[in-house]
Amino acid sequence: MRGDLSRGSLAGVLMLLVALSIVPSDATAKEPWERFDFPELGEVEIPDYERHVLENGLTVFLLEDRKWPLVEGRIMVRTGSAFEPAEKVGLASVTGNVLRTGGTETIPADELDMTLERMGAYIESSIGNTSASISFSFLTRTADRGLELVADVVRRPAFAQDKIDVAIEGERASVARRNDDLNGIVARELRQAVWGDAHPYARDTEYATLEAITRDDVVEFYEYFYHPDNMMIAVWGDIDSDAMLARIEERFGDWPAGQPMVPPFPNEPNEEQRKRVLVANKEDVNQTRFSMGHIGMRADDPDYYAMSVANRILGGSFGDRLFNEVRTKRGLAYNVGSSAGVGFSTPGMFQAYCGTKSSSTEEAVGVVLETVQTMREEPVGDQELRDAKNGLLEADVFNYVNPEQVLQRKMRLEYLGYPDDFLETFNDEVRAIGTDDVLSVMKRRVHPDEFAIVAVGKTEDWDGDLSSFGPVEELDISIPEPEGPEFPEPTDETVEKGRAILAAAQEAHGGPALTDLTSMKRTSAMNMKVQGMALDITLTETVVFPDRALTEIETPFGGQTMAVGPEAGWAKSPQGIVDMDSETYASQQREIIGDPLYVLGHFDQFPVQQLPPEDIDGAATDVVLVWIDEDADKWKKFYFDPSSHVLLRTQSKQRNMMTQVMGIGHVDYSGTKAVGGIMVPHEQIGYFDDEKLYDLTVESMEVGPTIDMSVFEKPAS
């Protein structure tokens, strides 16, 4: 069953004459190269192509070109890295990559690679900012099998975990290497200055964002966007259109439509365009790369045509103004030019860029700025304009050299939502551009007083600090480190040693008295800094190991009571009684068994390992890692005196009570005294991220008292 069939082909071959001399040249031309009588340019054939839409919404473009024994094509999908979550930058790139490298439900990854390579064929997939594509190429004799494989890859990708790992490894390498390429640094930083650091078109992939990507994420991304009604496919080469359409129908026709809404692309910058000079130091270069600019426009902006002509004169061709001034006249650069800042799917960035030796950095920035500014102040010369327009128009013929070039352009224009005759319109519009149009567009659309100027190089060798161009900010281009594993892998040796240290500590702290400890009551006086105030707090803890605890806190402002039992917890304050939520309950339970006295008495219940020794106040200590709750990522490090085995310190990852921020807290113990056969530290000092939080003195302690269990139950009022 055929889908919606609309013939987009042109009847027969269109003759297009592009040779009209656009503007009559200077009648007094006398240069030798202007004396030629050029014949009229031959005709350009616009190739015949077909456009169809299958019932499931898949748009199909077909073009026959029998010159070489190759069948090739491209699929475009409406998606992009613009849609990946901010905490998972890199997800789209990985998904696009592994769509191809991860194998399919029918063929495992390595076998697919081998099969394609032995066929002399390729299928490649990628996802960019605002589109995804799958391109393919097959020798004619294997084209049927080829299309089968393409459909398999697109419809039934396996996203093998192993290949996701390989892809992420590749992304990590790109992060690691991003400061090796000077031009890349400048391009990235300018993008971030213009669009905003966190903007989808500018944000960095980092180790942390890659770490967060799971296979589920990849599958979810694919399943959202890869539907036939969200795709276009173009096939060209040694094909018969009817036969190829039938094949495509066969391979893709039964794929149900079902594309959910695709959000619009975020084409607005997050950043106010304003004049700044952003500088970063790089030690291992003797050349500075800089670029200056701001947001540009999309190609459907009415100023596109004048801007194209203006940019060609300014910095878009061999011998343009920037080339002449910076490179040829002054020898300051090899690479210098400008970009009109026109994008087809998103606005581009207008920018003028240059690479120059360190000691001419400020000079070169000045010349570039001046050259841009001049074009905003004075109209360009008539001859200059004629040459630019002529060059653009006469080169138009190169847009029609390959039939597939034309076909892909048609597909792309449709994907982007541009009119079919966009290229032809361009020519007409360019013909009409005058010197006042160029001046006007430069004045209205190029604003040096809103330029972000990004310069990276060995700043100590610069001929100036660039402050004359605007307020200078220093950029930090350092790459945030990857998080290594928190602790080394435990070995038999470190586990055994850990147990031995804890055994010695258990012995030192009371031995059997510790292991027999089932209950305790402890009253302490705390002095705590809370929001700049020093607060005196009385803390009373009633604990029945392993899962009951009552904590009473008295402060000058009132008191609070918390309790947990084997099943639930509650808290009582002047405001009333509330049930503990499950997270707090779990955390409080962990506090009970994480109490050093309990751990020392029952360390065989926990996974432990010795860690490398650390110094406290210049003296070495034995360090043991204890996993209080591995699943919840809750660990506690215990530090002991190596000869007395007395507990000196505990350390764990915590949330700051006041700020709720995660950090590392530690408690230093001293004043160890015997209570009921147990050696108990009576003095504690608590720290959060190495800043002192509280002092605590144990005032009284009962070991093994009989406790009325009802105190742990939630009171009526």
**H or E segment and range at residue 680:** strand 678-688
Burial of 359 (0-12, 13-18, 19+ CB in 10 A): middle
**Residue closer to another protein (CB basis): 402 or 560:** 402
What does the alpha-carbon distance between residue 240 and residue 202 come to, in Å, rounded to a whole number? 43
Smallest gap from residue 49 Cβ to another protein (A): 16
DSSP tag of 325? I
Which of the ranges 245-253, 387-395, 492-500, 528-536 carries the binding residues for another protein, by CB under 8 A? 387-395
Residue of the chain from 43, 493, 604, 691 that contacts another protein (CB under 8 A): 43
For another protein, the binding residues in 130-149 under the rule CB under 8 A are 137, 139
Smallest gap from residue 389 Cβ to another protein (A): 9
What does the alpha-carbon distance between residue 713 and residue 196 come to, in Å, rounded to a whole number? 54
Smallest gap from residue 316 Cβ to another protein (A): 10
Q: Does 62 bind another protein (CB under 8 A)?
A: no
The residues that bridge with 624 in the sheet, in sequence order, are 610, 638
Residue of the chain from 388, 411, 439, 549 that contacts another protein (CB under 8 A): 388
- Do the Cβ atoms of 696 and 524 come closer than 8 Å? yes
Residue of the chain from 2, 7, 66, 177 that contacts another protein (CB under 8 A): 177
Residue of the chain from 13, 334, 530, 605 that contacts another protein (CB under 8 A): 334
**Residue closer to another protein (CB basis): 365 or 599:** 365
Smallest gap from residue 245 Cβ to another protein (A): 25
Smallest gap from residue 583 Cβ to another protein (A): 35
Residue of the chain from 105, 117, 250, 378 that contacts another protein (CB under 8 A): 117
Q: Does 119 bind another protein (CB under 8 A)?
A: yes
Number of neighbouring beta carbons within 10 Å of residue 178:
15
For another protein, the binding residues in 668-697 under the rule CB under 8 A are none
Smallest gap from residue 375 Cβ to another protein (A): 17
- Do the Cβ atoms of 352 and 290 come closer than 8 Å? no
Which of the ranges 167-175, 220-228, 447-455, 489-497 carries the binding residues for another protein, by CB under 8 A? 167-175
Q: Does 317 bind another protein (CB under 8 A)?
A: yes
Residue of the chain from 6, 161, 214, 286 that contacts another protein (CB under 8 A): 286
**Residue closer to another protein (CB basis): 329 or 692:** 329
Q: Does 66 bind another protein (CB under 8 A)?
A: no
Q: Does 427 bind another protein (CB under 8 A)?
A: no
Site string for another protein, 203-242 (x = CB under 8 A): ----x-----------------------------------
Q: Which two tokens stand for residue 137?
A: 């190429």
Which of the ranges 279-287, 531-539, 581-589, 590-598 carries the binding residues for another protein, by CB under 8 A? 279-287
**Residue closer to another protein (CB basis): 65 or 622:** 65
**Residue closer to another protein (CB basis): 117 or 223:** 117
Residue of the chain from 4, 10, 68, 471 that contacts another protein (CB under 8 A): 68
Q: Does 42 bind another protein (CB under 8 A)?
A: yes
Residue 374: closest CA among 442, 470, 277: 442
For another protein, the binding residues in 75-94 under the rule CB under 8 A are 93
Smallest gap from residue 183 Cβ to another protein (A): 8
Number of neighbouring beta carbons within 10 Å of residue 543:
24
What does the alpha-carbon distance between residue 101 and residue 110 come to, in Å, rounded to a whole number? 8
Number of neighbouring beta carbons within 10 Å of residue 257:
13
What does the alpha-carbon distance between residue 220 and residue 698 come to, in Å, rounded to a whole number? 54
Smallest gap from residue 287 Cβ to another protein (A): 4
Q: Does 488 bind another protein (CB under 8 A)?
A: no
Which of the ranges 315-323, 525-533, 616-624, 703-711 carries the binding residues for another protein, by CB under 8 A? 315-323
DSSP tag of 214? -
Residue of the chain from 12, 28, 36, 574 that contacts another protein (CB under 8 A): 36
- Do the Cβ atoms of 354 and 364 come closer than 8 Å? yes
Site string for another protein, 338-377 (x = CB under 8 A): -----------------xxx--------------------
Residue of the chain from 85, 120, 419, 613 that contacts another protein (CB under 8 A): 120
**Residue closer to another protein (CB basis): 57 or 103:** 103
3-state DSSP of 608-645: EEEEEEEEECCEEEEEEEEEEECCCCEEEEEEECCCCC
**Residue closer to another protein (CB basis): 45 or 496:** 45
Smallest gap from residue 459 Cβ to another protein (A): 13
> Count of alpha carbons within 13 Å of 578, Cβ hemisphere only?
9
Under 8 Å CB-to-CB from 543, ≥6 apart: which residues? 519, 520, 521, 522, 549, 550, 592, 595
- Do the Cβ atoms of 90 and 209 come closer than 8 Å? yes
How far lies 484's CA from each of 269, 280, 476, 487, 655, in Å?
Answer: 34, 27, 22, 8, 21
Q: Does 184 bind another protein (CB under 8 A)?
A: yes
**Residue closer to another protein (CB basis): 286 or 573:** 286
Q: Does 48 bind another protein (CB under 8 A)?
A: no
Which of the ranges 31-39, 79-87, 421-429, 647-655 carries the binding residues for another protein, by CB under 8 A? 31-39
Q: Which two tokens stand for residue 104?
A: 């399919």
- Do the Cβ atoms of 206 and 29 come closer than 8 Å? no
For another protein (CB under 8 A), the number of binding residues is 85
Residue of the chain from 208, 397, 553, 646 that contacts another protein (CB under 8 A): 397
What does the alpha-carbon distance between residue 311 and residue 350 come to, in Å, rounded to a whole number? 9
Residue of the chain from 329, 444, 673, 692 that contacts another protein (CB under 8 A): 329
**Residue closer to another protein (CB basis): 185 or 517:** 185
Residue of the chain from 213, 314, 332, 446 that contacts another protein (CB under 8 A): 332
**Residue closer to another protein (CB basis): 484 or 574:** 484
Q: What are phi and psi of 125, to 5 degrees?
A: -135, 145
Classify residue 447 as left (phi > 0), alpha (psi -120 to 50) or beta: beta
Smallest gap from residue 333 Cβ to another protein (A): 5
**Residue closer to another protein (CB basis): 148 or 396:** 396
Q: Does 381 bind another protein (CB under 8 A)?
A: no
Angle between helices 215-225 and 91-101 (to 10 degrees): 80
The residues that bridge with 287 in the sheet, in sequence order, are 357
Smallest gap from residue 203 Cβ to another protein (A): 15
Q: Does 178 bind another protein (CB under 8 A)?
A: yes
Please, which contacts does 704-709 make with residues 24 or more away whose CB atoms are closer than 8 Å? 704/516, 704/517, 704/518, 704/519, 704/520, 704/676, 705/519, 705/520, 705/521, 706/519, 707/519, 707/521, 707/542, 707/544, 707/548, 709/544, 709/548
Fill in the amino acid letter for 155.
R
The residue behind tokens 């807290």 is 665
- Do the Cβ atoms of 170 and 159 come closer than 8 Å? no
Number of neighbouring beta carbons within 10 Å of residue 717:
5
